[in-house]
């Protein structure tokens, strides 16, 4: 990583080169293009979107992972054609299924993008004593109406300290909080060492909107971002070997620019940018199964399996929310398993299938495994103390973005792309104003 770089050419191939066509890189590229800069995105793979990918398997639309978005952030994006789940989440606990986090009393009606919480609103918190339930509901309502910046401005503490501050019992922690962190942050956290602010941000997403998924697959987010760029702005199957503040070197050529944004996965970013610290990464395996299930009595729900002996963290009948994800009468069920890196895939799939049979009351021999996606580096850990604003500007002309620079989520990746674009524009002396029209 140096301020000086390739000198083989004396012209610029672009004002800014973005390395990586994941959602963070595409977000940065969109902002920079809207600000009037000439952008070139180079991607080693054969598609845009990075880890947010989708494929068709025997007619089923399956994501490379089990990705959910919150309508609080994406509910206004009609292009995504979101299929929504019921408010809150379901918990499978002690052989029973209970709802957590939806609205349990009179107040403002739940909307797909809802952030209106009227007088009398009570959020369902069915675990703990009556006093503890009221305390939990008040906490969640505070998070629902808080600004993200307000939560990030709070003093850092780990989840254990947060639990102590709130006076949460072991019943609530073991029955809801730990399973929720594993399901939505991929944090198997027996010591409750996760950042308290990360916990509150994750719960804020739960209560401000609904969990949802794009009907055509999570790849729609990257595709929509790519469509904002002019033809020829993205080069696929182009691996970058070296980056500098004024260009990059690929296997075939030297490309020059005024700035370079590295928007790859964390491991590749560390290879390209010596000195960059690689975060600890969590492993997630996603199983997509097809089975004949009865239609839900109400709205379909995301289910967190709080049984400590179950391999499943979260599961959902995704084609009940987005019917086009299944080509026939069967239901497509997507399931995440966190960790279990030492278990053979066939053994893990058998255990998952058996548990799905119990959860959905369908015999396990009726389940067809449509696809399996194992991602050993699925998401960065957010152990306390966690820096939610890791620098995106390394030196003048060289920048980095991705979910490893802040919040470990698709929305965190999008925000880091915006921050990187702002840093580039500031260094190049270009107004932000046009770029601010580009949103997630």
Element (H, E) at 348: helix 345-360
273-313, pLDDT tens digit by residue? 998 998 999 999 999 999 999 888 899 999 999 999 999 99
**In angstroms, rounded to a whole number, what is the distance separating the alpha carbons of residues 27 and 23?**
6
Q: How confident is the model at residue 5, as a pLDDT?
A: 42
Q: Once rounded to an integer, what is the mean pLDDT over residues 16-41?
A: 98
Find out whether 71 and 84 touch, Cβ atoms under 8 Å. yes
Q: How confident is the model at residue 76, as a pLDDT?
A: 81
SS3 179: helix
**In angstroms, rounded to a whole number, what is the distance separating the alpha carbons of residues 195 and 156?**
7
114-131, pLDDT tens digit by residue? 445 665 678 899 999 999
Catalogue all structural domains in the chain, each as residue range(s) with its CATH number.
16-51+219-279+386-437 (3.50.50.60), 54-83+212-216+281-380 (3.90.660.20), 100-209 (no CATH)
pTM of the model: 0.90
Strands 16-19 and 39-42: parallel
For 24, how many CA atoms within 13 A lie in the half-sphere containing its CB?
31
The CA-based dihedral angle spanning residues 228, 229, 230, 234, taken in that order and rounded to the nearest 10 degrees: -140
Q: Once rounded to an integer, what is the mean pLDDT over residues 223-227?
A: 97
């Amino acid at each position: 990583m140096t301020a000086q770089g390739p000198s083989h050419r004396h012209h610029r191939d672009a004002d800014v080169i973005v390395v990586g066509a994941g959602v963070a890189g595409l977000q940065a590229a969109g902002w920079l293009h809207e600000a009037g800069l000439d952008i070139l995105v180079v991607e080693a793979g054969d598609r845009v979107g990075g880890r947010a990918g989708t494929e068709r398997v025997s007619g089923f639309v399956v994501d490379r992972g089990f990705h959910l978005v919150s309508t609080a952030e994406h509910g206004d994006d009609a292009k995504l054609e979101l299929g929504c789940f019921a408010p809150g989440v379901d918990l499978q606990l002690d052989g029973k299924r209970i709802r957590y986090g939806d609205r349990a009393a009179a107040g403002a009606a739940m909307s797909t993008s809802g952030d209106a919480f009227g007088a009398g609103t009570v959020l369902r918190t069915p675990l703990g004593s009556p006093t503890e339930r009221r305390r939990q509901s008040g906490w969640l309502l505070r998070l629902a109406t808080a600004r993200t910046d307000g939560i990030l401005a709070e003093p850092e503490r780990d989840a254990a300290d947060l639990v102590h501050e709130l006076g949460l019992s072991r019943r609530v922690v073991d029955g809801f909080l730990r399973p929720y962190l594993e399901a939505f942050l991929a944090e198997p956290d027996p010591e409750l060492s996760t950042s308290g602010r990360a916990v509150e941000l994750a719960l804020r997403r739960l209560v401000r909107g609904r969990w949802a998924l794009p009907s055509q697959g999570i790849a729609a987010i990257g595709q929509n971002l790519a469509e904002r760029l002019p033809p020829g702005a993205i080069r696929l199957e182009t691996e970058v070997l070296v980056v500098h503040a004024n260009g990059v070197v690929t296997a075939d050529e030297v490309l020059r620019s005024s700035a370079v944004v590295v928007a790859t996965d964390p491991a590749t970013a560390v290879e390209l940018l010596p000195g960059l610290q690689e975060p600890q990464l969590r492993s997630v395996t996603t199983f997509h199964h097809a089975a004949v299930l009865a239609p839900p009595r109400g709205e379909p729900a995301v289910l967190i399996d709080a049984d400590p002996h179950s391999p499943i963290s979260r599961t959902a009948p995704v084609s009940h929310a987005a019917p086009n994800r299944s080509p026939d009468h069967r239901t497509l069920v997507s399931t995440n398993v966190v960790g279990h890196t030492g278990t053979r895939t066939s053994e893990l799939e058998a255990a998952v299938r058996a548990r799905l049979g119990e959860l959905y009351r369908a015999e396990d021999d009726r389940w067809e495994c449509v696809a399996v996606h194992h991602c050993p580096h699925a998401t960065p850990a957010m152990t306390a103390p966690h820096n939610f604003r890791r620098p995106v500007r390394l030196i003048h002309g060289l920048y980095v973005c991705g979910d490893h620079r802040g919040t470990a989520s698709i929305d965190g990746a999008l925000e880091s792309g915006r921050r990187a674009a702002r840093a580039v524009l500031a260094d190049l002396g270009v107004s932000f104003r046009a770029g601010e029209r580009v949103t997630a």
